[in-house]
Amino acid sequence: MATLFTLTPSSKSSFFTPFKTTLNSKPHFPTLRNPLSIRCFRPPETDTPPELKKFWGWLSDKGIVSAKCPVKPGIVTEGLGLVAQKDIARNEVVLEVSKKFWINPDTVAASEIGSVCNGLKPWVSVALFLMREKKLGDSSAWKPYIDILPDSTNSTIYWSEEELSKLQGSQLLNTTLGVKELVANEFAKLEEEVIVPNKRLFPFDITLDDFLWAFGMLRSRAFTRLEGQSLVLIPMADLINHSPDITAQDYAWEVKGAGLFSRELLFSLRNPIQVKAGGQVLIQYDLNKSNAELALDYGFTESRSERNAYTLTLEIPESDPFFADKLDIAESNGIGETAYFDIVLDQPLPAIMLPYLRLLALGGDDAFLLESIFRNSIWGHLDLPVSPANEELICQVIRNACTSALSGYSTTIEEDEKLLAQGDLDPRLEIAITIRLGEKKVLQQIDEVFKERETELGGFEYYQERRLKDLGLAGAQGEKLPWIGEV
């Protein structure tokens, strides 16, 4: 039965596309109902590491910041962050960085390696630029910035095998391995087509680890979807950390025109919530990212239940005798041969999932609905239960898939909850437990939905009953009218 259609509990492939989103892509508005929790106070000046002092000096020399700048880079619990130098009001602009200090594909194109980067994907060219500047050391014009970039984050792309083993059975493990494979493939191509043929420009060893480092830096700190920009690194602005307490929808940043005729572009960062001097200016990165996306992109998770999600991949198998008809119906309703459904903890199933499942399970006595005369009305019919056999098959296949996915994890929900409750965990272990616990809870929730449906199968109204009613051949309760047998 389960072979009737394919259900792959894996992540969607579009998730592998680098820089679909990096920092937030949706408007986020701050709210005073969610007061900022001050995580760390500005360390005494003597604690400031030399790299940070040099970075500040470089920012000042370039005119990126002035002595009046309301924020300064400082050491905070999240690594480096932006520390308020005075009380900062909500919506106050804390930083403006001119385009000439951004690192984006235009920067690469205008650089020494620009001529060999033609045709590279934007993120690949910026990653190559970043690696090269790092290798150039003292000769790099960007050295003070490169020197304050971390060697890694807690993103799962940087985890050891041992650390990744704690994600056994999870979608995030598959996604992480998929992303690393994608990065490795891109690197192999880059090495062969650009690095090796241009030894003069790259007179040093550049390894896959260097490329992974650059990829992770972009993924965690590049701003995307800025007007007309694919991805941009903005020194100093990229020190802004995320706060789960800022939950309203608004962009904390924008690109503005400046100078004569507004020809110069300026990146402007606002403080979304009132901050006291010494506190950290924080923003909401992206309310729509799941914990898996946060863990992969930035290396942290949140405890809010709606961050827990599981992506169900449903597919019409080519072996289905009605493949062509089903595909035609799916495509005319905006779905394809494969559909991805993000199921979120404590939220209802996506509305389109049940109709799509009914379509996939259509066959046997219900196959007549696939005939072309029904083509315009079929989707409406699939919105409601079609037949007991169809609905039962859906329940069985989904429940089997949930059971199988749940059996892939090495711990139970209860064990994970106990581990989390103990506290004081290594950050990567805590991320792994949060992720696998969240995924299992969502799988359990899906199973419960279809378990309940199974018990309700006898109470649903199916296509044939609705049809008889529409034709006036059945009573309000679906019972056949007395004369029907006499017709």
Which residues are annotated as catalytic? 285
Q: Are 22 and 297 in contact (CB under 8 A)?
A: yes
- The verdict on whether residue 238 carries a ligand-binding annotation is yes
Check residue 289 for interaction with ligand SAM (CB under 6 A): no
Segment lying near ligand SAM (by CB under 6 A), choices 73-81, 100-108, 270-278, 453-461: 73-81
Here's the x/- map for ligand SAM, 207-226, by CB under 6 A: it reads as -------------xx-----
Q: SS3 of 232, please?
A: strand
- Tell the smallest beta-carbon distance from residue 285 to ligand SAM (Å): 7
- The verdict on whether residue 453 carries a ligand-binding annotation is no
Nearer to ligand SAM, 150 or 278 (CB): 150
Nearer to ligand SAM, 64 or 474 (CB): 64
DSSP string, 26-57: S-B---TTSPPPP--PPPPGGGS-HHHHHHHH
- Tell me which of 79, 321, 380, 475 binds ligand SAM, using CB under 6 A: 79
- The verdict on whether residue 376 carries a ligand-binding annotation is no
Phi, psi values for residue 307, rounded to 5°: -80, -15
- The verdict on whether residue 158 carries a ligand-binding annotation is no
- Tell the smallest beta-carbon distance from residue 48 to ligand SAM (Å): 14
Taking the C-alpha atoms of residue 296 and residue 290, their distance in angstroms, rounded to an integer, is: 10
- The verdict on whether residue 47 carries a ligand-binding annotation is no
- The verdict on whether residue 221 carries a ligand-binding annotation is yes
Q: Are 308 and 438 in contact (CB under 8 A)?
A: yes
- Tell the smallest beta-carbon distance from residue 139 to ligand SAM (Å): 23
DSSP symbol at 86: S
Amino acid (1-letter code) at residue 66:
S
C-alpha closest to that of 308 among 211, 470, 434: 434
Nearer to ligand SAM, 241 or 308 (CB): 241
- Tell me which of 69, 80, 97, 246 binds ligand SAM, using CB under 6 A: 80
- Tell the smallest beta-carbon distance from residue 429 to ligand SAM (Å): 15
Q: Which residue has the tokens 């200016």?
A: 281
Here's the x/- map for ligand SAM, 232-251, by CB under 6 A: it reads as ------xx-xx---------
Please report, as residue ranges, which positions from 349 to 368 form the binding site for ligand SAM (by CB under 6 A): none
- Tell me which of 158, 300, 310, 356 binds ligand SAM, using CB under 6 A: 300
Check residue 43 for interaction with ligand SAM (CB under 6 A): no
Check residue 150 for interaction with ligand SAM (CB under 6 A): yes
C-alpha closest to that of 69 among 50, 78, 56, 51: 56
Residue ranges of E strands in 50-175: 71-76, 79-84, 93-98
- Tell me which of 18, 78, 134, 465 binds ligand SAM, using CB under 6 A: 78
What is the arrangement of strands in the sheet containing 6-8, beginning at the earlier edge strand? Answer: 6-8, 309-315, 338-344
- Tell the smallest beta-carbon distance from residue 174 to ligand SAM (Å): 21
- The verdict on whether residue 242 carries a ligand-binding annotation is yes
Helices (H), 50-142: 50-61, 105-109, 122-136
Q: Hey, what are 395's tokens?
A: 């329940």
Please report, as residue ranges, which positions from 444 to 473 form the binding site for ligand SAM (by CB under 6 A): none
Q: Are 93 and 258 in contact (CB under 8 A)?
A: no
Segment lying near ligand SAM (by CB under 6 A), choices 27-35, 43-51, 161-169, 295-303: 295-303
Check residue 81 for interaction with ligand SAM (CB under 6 A): yes
- The verdict on whether residue 213 carries a ligand-binding annotation is no
- Tell me which of 9, 105, 272, 299 binds ligand SAM, using CB under 6 A: 299
- The verdict on whether residue 253 carries a ligand-binding annotation is yes
Q: Are 252 and 71 in contact (CB under 8 A)?
A: no
Taking the C-alpha atoms of residue 75 and residue 49, their distance in angstroms, rounded to an integer, is: 9
Longest dimension (CA), the chain: 98
Check residue 298 for interaction with ligand SAM (CB under 6 A): yes
Taking the C-alpha atoms of residue 127 and residue 459, their distance in angstroms, rounded to an integer, is: 58
Binding residues for ligand SAM, how many (CB under 6 A)? 15
Q: Are 284 and 252 in contact (CB under 8 A)?
A: yes
Q: How many residues does the chain have?
A: 487
Task: Classify residue 14 as exposed, middle or buried by CB count within 10 Å of its CB (0-12, 13-18, 19+).
Answer: exposed
Nearer to ligand SAM, 147 or 191 (CB): 147
Nearer to ligand SAM, 83 or 401 (CB): 83
Nearer to ligand SAM, 239 or 344 (CB): 239
Task: Classify residue 208 as exposed, middle or buried by CB count within 10 Å of its CB (0-12, 13-18, 19+).
Answer: middle
- The verdict on whether residue 298 carries a ligand-binding annotation is yes
DSSP symbol at 349: P
Minimal CB distance residue for ligand SAM: 79
Instruction: Write out the residues near ligand SAM by the rule CB under 6 A.
Output: 78-81, 150, 153, 220-221, 238-239, 241-242, 298-300
User: Which residues are documented as binding site for S-adenosyl-L-methionine?
Assistant: 78-80, 221, 241-242
Q: Which residues are annotated as a binding site for substrate?
A: 221, 225, 238, 253, 285, 298
Annotated binding-site ranges: 78-80, 221, 225, 238, 241-242, 253, 285, 298
